[in-house]
Amino acid sequence: MQACGKNTAVREPVDVAAALARPKIDMHAHVWPMQGEAVSSSHLIACGARLGITEFWCSAPITGGRLAPIEEVRAHNDVILRAMERHPGRIRGMAFLIPGQPGVIEEAERCLGRGMIGFKLYNQYKLHDPVVEPIIKLATERRVPVLVHAAYLPAPEHQRQQPLTSHGADFAVASEKYPDALLIHAHIGGGGDWEWTLRALRDASPNVYVDVSGSNLDAGQVEMAVAELGAKRVLFGTDGTMAGSVGKVLDADLTEEEQDLIFWRNAARLLAEQGLAPLNMPRGDAQCSST
Amino acid sequence: MLVDVNCWLGHWPYRRLRDRTAEELVARLDYLGVTHALVSSIDSILYRNVQPANEDLAEALAPYGDRLFPVATINPNYAGWEDDLDAAAERLGARGVRLIPQYHGYDLDSPAAQRAAAACAERGLPVLVAHRIEDPRQRHHLDPGQTVGFGAAAALLRAVPNLQLIITNARGLFHSDFVRDPGLRDKAWYVDLSLAEVDYQLHRHPADRRDLGRALAYVGPAHLLFGTHLPFSYGAPALVKLETLELSEADRASIRFRTAARLFALPIP
């Protein structure tokens, strides 16, 4: 475990208004296939603007472990492509994929070709299942991140609902198979035992990241992520818990530099892997985007 | 001035909390700009006999008596709870009472809870009920991981009409009786800013983009208090929500401290 942060007793009181003006890349957001999807994406951007969120990485996954047909997967990704067209300076796409599906690699290529910047996997398969390999290999070749729905769910009633949801130990196994893949364990605040999963990630490759999103606002989770993995492997995401996710980083016992790594610099580094730069950076920040 | 109505002090058996002493809690409140806090006992959640926890809490808060105010826990299922309420109000300086039905083994709409709530109302003490203590999806196998239903909370308020009821950590308020039942609109019920998203939340339908924000649009900001659920939860999420809420200055002042000062009879202007 690495040292991080500084003692609360010596910190200046938080200036929330100033903190909201600092840039933030929300790398875990959604636009859903539903009537009113345009209203939904506009609302996402309007709410994010109040919090200093400069861009969103959006996906539209099929949840519940359902093995939906490729046509449905394409329709979900089309929702994101339309959102990218409506908001080209704000929304980037993460292609949702179901491993092993006929046509899945073609769908991945189609989405990358239309400007998406990564892949989103849900809980149809564990991350280390061999059926996932072609997707991870493609992602590694193209240097795009793979964001994976994840949680360690200790209670049997929750495990039964999501038997194939990956957790920290699954990421450690997968990253041993694919050490160069850019893998992101989604939402440490997504409801599982975040202490267990962060400890299990100790053995993962340095290319495994976590994001801080989720409705669980337990104090200490961001600090523990930084202590276990280092501040450069913790990403800012909201997954719909927008104010809560901003607040948890602000209240974490970290330095301002560590907070900025989480808020946007680490995401900027991931973008740089594929030759991209962050969007809408305030003047002065864009020059040091890959620090 | 900023009053946090939803603070706790003590040790939680399933996770090492970040700020476990009154001194650490005060340092955290200083960082967040919170001037006063209502503090409940974490130990009382699992003690069978909660009164020693109330005594410990009052002693721990005493050095900070001008800004930390105790909230005593009452278990209406336990022998002599009336004596605990007397001690809380008359000797320990409690400004409110916590009911913790999901850990003390009763329903919030049970006759026992109604009797306790009525006794609190008679004394002018607000009752605080946590919708949940921790996210049940991470529950330890010894933890029931249960939430308190809004239906039971609404039933309690109907049964004890002069009750001042504060539901902390509430999520999913919009579809509850508190918003849907016009008969409850003007009652003295309150929720805090700790866990619910005001402006944006995960949604699958355009109409569900907001929860607390939409609920407040129906019932008005008079039902809202500033609360964090420290030290279980981070405190700054509530600050961020307060900062981004579109409110009049008068409504903002009510949420920040005026309503809490009135409810808990706090010695602030």
Asked if B33 and A51 come within 8 Å (Cβ–Cβ), the reply is: no
A259 has pLDDT over 60: yes
| Number of other CB atoms surrounding residue B231 within 10 Å | 24
A11 contact B CB<8A:
yes
B231/B210: higher pLDDT? B231
Residue A270 to residue A291: CA distance in whole angstroms? 11
Order of all β-strands in the sheet with A24-30: A24-30, A53-59, A91-96, A118-121, A146-148, A183-185, A208-211, A234-235
Torsion, CA A164, CA A188, CA B216, CA B259, rounded to 10: 140
What pLDDT was estimated at residue B159? Answer: 98
- The highest-confidence range among A170-174, B168-172, B179-183, by mean pLDDT, is A170-174
Asked if A250 and B140 come within 8 Å (Cβ–Cβ), the reply is: no
A 16-35 residues with CB < 8 A to B: 16-17, 20, 30, 32, 34-35
Q: Is A214 left (phi over 0), alpha (psi -120 to 50) or beta?
A: left
Instruction: Give the model confidence (pLDDT) of B162-179 as tens digits.
Output: 999 999 999 888 889 999
Asked if A191 and B137 come within 8 Å (Cβ–Cβ), the reply is: yes
A8 has pLDDT over 80: no
Long-range contacts of B13-18 (CB under 8 A, 24+ apart): B13/B46, B13/B140, B13/B142, B14/B134, B14/B139, B14/B140, B14/B142, B14/B143, B15/A195, B15/A218, B15/A220, B15/B134, B16/A220, B17/A219, B17/A220, B17/B42, B17/B231, B17/B232, B18/A219, B18/A220, B18/A223, B18/A253, B18/B231
CA distance A291 to chain B (A): 26
What pLDDT was estimated at residue A10? Answer: 60
A174 has pLDDT over 80: yes
Stretch A200-214: mean pLDDT: 96
Nearest by CB: B32 against A14, A17, A218: A14
Beta-carbon contacts of residue A158 (< 8 Å; ≥ 6 apart): A191, A192, B137
Instruction: Report the chain A residue with the minimal C-alpha distance to residue B143.
Output: A155
A287 contact B CB<8A:
no
Instruction: Give the model confidence (pLDDT) of A99-125 as tens digits.
Output: 999 999 999 999 999 999 999 999 999
Residue A54 DSSP label = E
Nearest by CB: B234 against A17, A47, A219: A219
What pLDDT was estimated at residue B225? Answer: 98
Reading the block at residue A120, the tokens are 């989103």
Asked if A9 and B27 come within 8 Å (Cβ–Cβ), the reply is: yes
Reading the block at residue B114, the tokens are 């109604």
Instruction: Report the chain A residue with the minimal C-alpha distance to residue B142.
Output: A155
In percent, the amount of chain A with pLDDT more than 90 equals 86
Report yes or no on B107 lying in a domain: yes
Report yes or no on B249 lying in a domain: yes
State the pLDDT confidence band at A291, using cuts at 50, 70 and 90: very low
Residue B111 to residue B109: CA distance in whole angstroms? 7
Residue-number span of the structural domain to which B64 is assigned: 3-263
Reading the block at residue A187, the tokens are 């939402």
Report yes or no on B268 lying in a domain: no
Give residue B164's Cα distance to chain centre: 11
CA distance B238 to chain A (A): 7
Asked if A17 and B33 come within 8 Å (Cβ–Cβ), the reply is: no
B206 has pLDDT over 80: no
Distances (CA, A) of A83 to A31, A44, A89, B4, B165: 8, 11, 11, 39, 43
Instruction: Report the chain B residue with the minimal C-alpha distance to residue A242.
Output: B200
B208 has pLDDT over 80: no
Stretch A203-210: mean pLDDT: 95
A166 has pLDDT over 80: yes
What pLDDT was estimated at residue A286? Answer: 59
3-class DSSP string for A91-149: EEEEEECCCCCCCHHHHHHHHHHCCCCEEEECCCCCCCCHHHHHHHHHHHHHCCCEEEC
Reading the block at residue A53, the tokens are 């969120």
> Which sequence spans correspond to the domains of chain A?
24-279
**CB burial readout A75-96, b (16+ within 10 A) else e:** ebbebbbbbbeebeebbbbbbb
What pLDDT was estimated at residue B131? Answer: 96
Report yes or no on B59 lying in a domain: yes
**Best CATH choice for the domain A24-279 from the list 3.40.930.10, 3.40.50.300, 3.20.20.140, 3.90.1560.10:** 3.20.20.140
- Which residues are paired to B128 by β-bridges? B98, B166
A3 has pLDDT over 50: no
Stretch A83-110: mean pLDDT: 97
Stretch B213-234: mean pLDDT: 93
Residue B118 to residue A222: CA distance in whole angstroms? 42
A170 has pLDDT over 60: yes
Full DSSP string of A213-265:
-SS--BTTHHHHHHHHH-GGGEE---TT-HHHHHHHHHTSS--HHHHHIIIII
CATH of the domain at B168: 3.20.20.140
State the pLDDT confidence band at B216, using cuts at 50, 70 and 90: confident
Instruction: Report the chain B residue with the minimal C-alpha distance to residue A16.
Output: B240
What pLDDT was estimated at residue B150? Answer: 96
Asked if A240 and B202 come within 8 Å (Cβ–Cβ), the reply is: yes
Stretch B185-213: mean pLDDT: 84
A216 contact B CB<8A:
yes
Nearest by CB: A218 against B136, B232, B241: B232
**CB burial readout A234-248, b (16+ within 10 A) else e:** bbbbbbbbbbbbbbb
Residue B163 to residue B131: CA distance in whole angstroms? 17
What pLDDT was estimated at residue B211? Answer: 76
Count of domains for chain B: 1
State the pLDDT confidence band at A1, using cuts at 50, 70 and 90: low
Residue B13 to residue B232: CA distance in whole angstroms? 12
What pLDDT was estimated at residue B146? Answer: 93
DSSP H/E element including B70: strand B68-73
What pLDDT was estimated at residue A5? Answer: 45
Instruction: Give the model confidence (pLDDT) of B94-151 as tens digits.
Output: 999 999 999 999 999 999 999 999 999 999 999 999 999 999 999 999 999 999 999 9
